[in-house]
Structure 1
Amino acid sequence: MVQYYDYVLGVIPLVLVGLTALLTAVGLDLTTAIPVGAGVAALIIGHALFVNMPTHPTAESADTSQRANAE
């Protein structure tokens, strides 16, 4: 099952390479396009880490899921 973080890991290189190529094709210098693409990729990483944080299951939620499976 594909989850949010799988999409994030796929989008990071696509944004970095794709946005850099697009900005270069539009006429922006490569030395400017690469940091812009990297900045957008960094924003995606920051969103995944700090806005939509990964969570670890707690002991209570693990107990609840085990009890639900036992029933």
Structure 2
Amino acid sequence: MMDYYDYILGLIPVTMGGIAALLSAVGFGVSMAVPAGALAALPLVAHALFVRAPVAEEPEPTTTTQRQTGHTSTAD
């Protein structure tokens, strides 16, 4: 199943290459078109890193008894 980061990793080179190819076709030099494409892809990278940061979900805390036996103990 595709999620947010799969789309972002696909859009970064598409954006960079597409903008660079478009500007190059219009008449800009490659030395100007490639940095412009990279500048256009920069917001995608920044959003993926800082707005929707890839953080792991924290596991639920368990007590020592739960880790050893797999269940909680009850007082007798």
Moved beyond 3 Å, runs of 4+: none
Give the number of the structure whose alpha-carbon radius of gyration is greater: 2
Compute the TM-score of the two structures, normalised by the length of structure 1. 0.75
Q: Structure 1: any 5+ residue segments left out of the alignment?
A: 61-71
The percentage of counterpart residues that share the same residue type is: 47
Letter in 2 for 1:23: L
The Cα RMSD (Å) is 1.6
- Larger proportion of helix: 1
Residue 58 of structure 1: how far off its partner (Å): 1.1
Q: Give aligned pairs, total.
A: 61
Compute the TM-score of the two structures, normalised by the length of structure 2. 0.70
Where relative contact order (Cα < 8 A, 6+ residues apart) is larger, the structure is 1
